Each structure stands twice: as structure tokens, then as C-alpha cells.
Structure 1
Amino acid sequence: MRREPLRTTTVHRGAVGEMGSLYTRLLVTDADGPNAGAILLTWELRLGVADDGGPSFPIWRSLDGGHSWATLSEVPDLRYGYGNRYQPMLYELPADIAHLRRGDLLLAGNAIPADGSSTHLVLYSSSDGGRTWAYESTVDSGGPAIYSPRSDAATTAVWEPDLHLIEGVLHCFFADEREKDRGMLQVIARRSSTDLRTWSEKDLISGVGDRFHRPGMFVGTGEMPDGVHRAVIEVVGPAEVPVHLLTSRDGTDWGDPAAVGLPLRAEDGVAISGTPTIAWRERADGAVEMIATGRHSLRDGVAGNRALRSLDLGATWTSFELPTPAERLLTGDGSGYSQSVRWNADGDLVHATTVRSATGSHDVVVSVALAGSAGPRDQHAR
């Protein structure tokens, strides 16, 4: 049977009064591991009501490469009872650590009470493929869940955890607003753990002491085939909210914190703006393909729905239209806030994103673009 070039599934329809949904995150598990290549999906579901225990992070699973989805579990706030509200991410362990084994799953996210009075980066684990989850620890806690880009802001929240296991140590990178006394409105920080229960003192990965530039939303690649670790960050302050690329030889030393990496821009002039993510794979022809996404793309000041692709480890980039149609806005609550792409076992591009809906909320939508039908045919903006 001939496969359709694009299949789109609405996994969740936003309800009236629902805040969210945002921060879609895909995980394609190891085909040779215990999860047998299943694709998992989570997102933040910030309900507008203060129900008992608050919202949970939903976990959905696809066993057919992203074409169909079923709910698998939820991850409730087992530690504080506030609700797991913001910025979840999923991670499959590539090796054993502490009491967990290769192929076990981790989820990190932000537990926040209904009044937004505090932020807590929490870690959960699953040893049964995501069906059940156990609380492990709190990586760090910060002040109220308030965002302010003002130069005189006094905000102290912690945001957006990103996990990586490197040489037997679990590292959690996150955005931290508690360095105001050093002139840094927000920094990227890191804590690490060998037992998943206790965490190291905080390291500074990226920070600019000018009370203007705010590096944040670190999303890393892990070690790539050339031995280099890469990560995308956003730099809030400049009106275009540029996305930059950081590199590290070992995943732990990211160089001078005041050097915020290289801005990502395609050869056709397209750049991506805000809430970045990055994915990579080794293709059958031996090339290493990287795709970076943002909240929207920009060319000549006009917002679009494009992502960036590199086939030379980030030296040059082209742009292509993302599979899921959605209007992107320069301001306001639009579609695509921190979206995610991965590839399934057939080499199809799987795109999970949020689309602003008529209810005033967002639908969670997953599109699967048949290999060769989206992206490569459309690498340059028209």
C-alpha cells in the first residue's frame, strides 16, 4: 500500500479556559533497547483551575512511527502536590546510573503551585516504559513563576530543565534568574548527580552581565558522531530573540559563559526566533543531519513557519517549511511555542507542535512527513 506523504493527528484538543498546551517534546526510543523504538510525547498542560494536586504531565505513545497515538500515563506532582505545570522533557538512559538501567526513562519538568509562587525542577523515573513514574529528586528550586525582561527585574525563577548522561554523571541544564546581583538577568546553569537524589553545586554555563541579554532554553544534542556536543539557546533581549548554537568537546565545558555562541541563519536569510529545539540523525548516505526549530522563523522581519537544516555539522544551514501548517505571530500567543522534531525508523520526519485553536487555547498536533516528501524538496525559502 502506498503511504500518504503527510499524515497529521490531533493528539489533544485545547479546551475553553485551558492555559497551554505548550512545549511539545518527542522521544524516539532506542530500537535495540527495552522500549523497542516506541515514540513518546509529552507537553505542558497548564490548566486554568486549581484542582487538587494540580495538572500532570501527559505521556502518550506511538508504536507505528508517529502515525497513531494512545495515552500511556500521566506524571502527577508526587512531591509537592502543586501540579507538574511547565516545561517537561523526556530522556532515555543510554547507560546504567545509580539504581536505574539502560533504557529506563527520565522526565524533568517544573512543579509550580496554582498561584505561581515558586518553581521546582523535579526529576521522575520510569522502569516500565513510561507506564508508571516515581519521584527521584528536586534538582533546584527558585522563586515565583514570573517572567520579566526589564533591566531592573527582580525575578528569581528557575525554568526549562534539559538532561544529559555523560560519563556516568547525569547533568541537568536549566535557565536561572537568580544571578541579578552579577548583572545577569538570566543565565544557563547546570547541576549534576551520580545517584539521582543529590545534586552538585551550580555551575555557570552561559551568562552575560549587561542586564540586557538573557540566554536561556538550553536544548542539547548529546555527543554527536564527530565527538562534539552541541546545544541551541535563545537570547532574549534583542527584538528578534535570536537562536544561537553552542559547542563543547566533552559536554561539560562550554567555554566562556559570556560568549553566547553563533547565531543560526540559513543561506537564504531565514533565521529562527525563540524557544529553540534541535534534533540530529545519521542518514543512510552517511551524512549527519541536524534540524533546529524556533517559535517562528524570520526573514526580512516577517514571521514564518520554517525550520533550519544542516548537513555539515552546523557550518551552513538551509531552511524548509515545517510539516504542520500554522500561522506564526511576532507577538502574542501563537502556534509552535517550543516544538519538537524527530525521525522514525522509516526515516520520516515526525513533527510535534501546538496550533492556536478557536477555543483560545492550543491543540497538540503531530505530523509525519514521508521521507523525501517534506524538507529536502523545500530547502530554500521562496
Structure 2
Amino acid sequence: MNSPATTTIHRGAVGEAGSLYTRLLATDPQGPNAGAMLLTWELRLHVADDGGPSFPIWRSLDGGHSWEHLSDVADALGRGNRYQPMMIELTEDLAHLRRGDLLLAGNSIPTDGSSTTLALYSSRDGGASWAYESTIDQGGPAIYSPRSDATTTAVWEPDLHVLDGVLHCYLADERDKAAGMLQTITRRSSSDLRTWSEKDLVCGIGDRKHRPGMFVGTGAMPDGLHRAVIEIVGPPEVPVHLLTSTDGVDWGDPAEIGLPLVATDGTAVSGTPTIAWRRVDGDPENSENSENVEMIVTGRHSLRDGVAGNRALRSRDLGATWTSFELPTPAVRSLVGDGSGYSQSVRWNAAGQLVHATTVASPTGGHDVVVTVAESVPS
């Protein structure tokens, strides 16, 4: 087996707060984008209020081995596309968009951090250009406080899903303090990409201690279920839990926080989770067979016996059991200090190779953005 190949996409510069939230999109090989891979991330530049930073869009036409800068998603609101971008490819026509068009959601925040706004953009040319669609939701200042008496009101971390011709956005929401919930996961929906429903509560714990957030979902999987990972901020290990839903909308009692994810060797992942899945070789007439599905969950770092590591979790039985493996990008992960690895992602290219996008500590004090292509995941 060939050694993993790592490409540095962006080198952290002096003055950056540290790139975070690397997000890969592997487009449909049979669709209009012909299997191209796209990458964006949170650049976190300290810049003046002249429209602020943009979300960079990079493209690979060879399965993640080489990359080109394709575009930047500038903030139509004039504040700065600063935090937490994510992208999806439409698998069906939606409103005025067509199959293969792209959607991107991210957090628009001015330099002074006085507000948080989740904005939606679209691309009809494979990511080369972007148009503002709408504001999904707006919250208060971009301030995080873990205190039980916190009064913060920010919105964070959008996650987009199309279900039965409707776009749903899941988000972390700090505006339910009156109900005793420091942070909740809420959902808003739109059928025209311009107007949005009132928010629905997906997950929230009224104890002013636990903060469920960072919802990242799978969409419908071969067994008909939808799954999602969330983090539970409050416990020092920031555990990652798995939620399930029959339709991707109703996730059950909001006070229930799902199952904690721990591998058979005792490894868990800690905070800022993402999840990816794929079908693997098997009987196409029995595609719901769990042996035909592979799932991988990442966190900011892994934890085993209180020691931070660079591992992820993998399941071949639809989440019933998990094993751990070393992520292909070499990196030192720390419990405190450096925040590299914060919300990394994996996808598979059309050749079935695992592609890993993450951030690693830079000599400048920032973070480099790197992509590694591995031939396979260790068993």
C-alpha cells in the first residue's frame, strides 16, 4: 500500500487566529460536477471592516491529490464570512436551483464580534461563483461563555440537509437561556431558499450545565435511518454522542442526547465532531445490509485514558460498535493550548480512497490547512 500523500493547501500567516472547520465535499461522480472535490474552511483573519474575510473554495479534479483555488465566498452582508462554513451538492432540483448546484452556509460576523448571522449562498457553476440567497437566522454577539449564569445569545455552526424537497438548517443556538438551556440544537426550514420557518427545538437540556451543539448529520442511510453526531459541552472530556431519526426531522425527546461514542479499545473522540459514510462493496439487492456501510466520526482530538491523540472512530455495523484508527494526517493534538484539528472532516473520493482535511499547528502561531489522501482505512 502506498504511503498517504499530504498537501498543504494554506500556510498559517502571522496575524491569523488559526484556521478551523475544514469541510470537504465529494460531489457525485455521475452528476454535473463529475466527482470533483471541494474544500472550504474558517480562515479567521484579523482584518478591517471592509467586508471582512471570505470563505475560500478550493477544488480538486483528481480525488484530492492536487488542489486549485477556485473562488472566495464574499459576505454580501458586508460583515465578513468568518466562521463555520459547510457545503452540500443538490441531488435534486430545489426551488430555482437544479441538481448539481451547490449550497454553502456560514457565519457572518463583523470584526467587533457584535452579532452572528447564518447566511446561505448558492453556486450554479460548480463553485466558481456564488450568490447570496438569504439569512437563515440571526443571533447576538460572537461570545462563548461556559458559565452556568451566561447570558450569551449567539447562533453557530449551520448544517444543511434537503429532505423531501425542503432545505433544513440545523444550528447551535444560545438563545434559550430563559428555559434553563445554555445552548440548544434548533432547526429552521425553507422550500424557496429565501424565507425560513420559525425554529424547532431538536435537542436541549435544562440544567444550565450541559450544552449540546455542533450537529452534523448523515442524511438518509441505506437502512432508512438518519444519524447525527453532537458534542456535549460541560463534561471536561466533551463527549460525542450519536442521534438517530426515522425522517431526519423528528429526533425524539429533546432532552435525550443519544448514545456516547466509544470504541472497543476505549478510545473516544472529543468535541467538534463530524460524521461521514459510504456504501462499500456488497450485494446491491441487499443494500441495507450493515456490512455494506462504513461510517467514520472525527473530533477535535481523540481521548484514551485521559491522553489526547489523533484517532477517529469507524463502524461497519451502522453504529452498533466502533473501532479506532490513526488519522492519515500526522498531527500532535493537545488538550489545552493549540486548537488545531478543531472540526476536521473526511470523505472518500471516486476511487474509494479516504481524503482527510484538517488543520495542524503552524510555526507562525496559526494553523496550516492540509489534505491527506490515504489508500484505505486500517482494519
State TM-score, norm by structure 1. Answer: 0.96
The question of whether the paired residues in 1 share the 8 Å contact of 2:295 and 2:315 is answered with yes
CA RMSD of aligned residues (A): 0.9
SS at match of 1:314: coil
Paired residue type of 2:361: R
SS at match of 2:59: strand
Question: Residue 375 of structure 1: CA displacement?
Answer: 2.5
2:51 matched residue in structure 1: 53
SS at match of 1:46: coil
The question of whether the paired residues in 2 share the 8 Å contact of 1:322 and 1:375 is answered with no
Question: Residue 58 of structure 1: CA displacement?
Answer: 0.2
1:112 matched residue in structure 2: 109
Q: Are 2:191 and 1:194 equivalent residues in the alignment?
A: yes
- What is the aligned counterpart of 1:362 among 367, 371, 374? 367
Paired residue type of 1:41: L
SS at match of 2:178: helix
Question: Residue 258 of structure 1: CA displacement?
Answer: 0.3
Q: Are 2:324 and 1:319 equivalent residues in the alignment?
A: yes
The question of whether the paired residues in 1 share the 8 Å contact of 2:19 and 2:368 is answered with yes
The question of whether the paired residues in 2 share the 8 Å contact of 1:86 and 1:109 is answered with yes
Paired residue type of 2:359: T
Pairing 1:208-287 to 2, within 5 Å after superposition: 208-285=205-282, 287=292
1:338 matched residue in structure 2: 343
Pairing 1:1-382 to 2, within 5 Å after superposition: 4-78=2-76, 80-285=77-282, 287-371=292-376, 374-376=377-379
Question: Residue 26 of structure 1: CA displacement?
Answer: 0.1
Q: Identity over aligned residues, as a percent?
A: 78
Question: Residue 19 of structure 1: CA displacement?
Answer: 1.5
Q: Which runs of 5+ in 2 are unaligned?
A: 284-291
Question: Residue 51 of structure 1: CA displacement?
Answer: 4.9
The whole-number CA distance in structure 2 between the counterparts of 1:166 and 1:109 is 20
State TM-score, norm by structure 2. Answer: 0.97
The question of whether the paired residues in 2 share the 8 Å contact of 1:185 and 1:214 is answered with yes
Paired residue type of 2:52: G
Tell me the alpha carbon deviations over residues 306-329 of structure 1, each in whole angstroms, 9 at most, x when there is no partner: 000000000000000000011111
The whole-number CA distance in structure 2 between the counterparts of 1:235 and 1:137 is 29
Question: Residue 339 of structure 1: CA displacement?
Answer: 0.1
Tell me the alpha carbon deviations over residues 326-349 of structure 1, each in whole angstroms, 9 at most, x when there is no partner: 111111223210000000111110
1:379 matched residue in structure 2: none
SS at match of 1:20: coil
Out of 241-250 and 15-24, give the one that drifted further.
15-24
The question of whether the paired residues in 2 share the 8 Å contact of 1:184 and 1:209 is answered with yes
SS at match of 1:181: helix
Paired residue type of 2:12: G
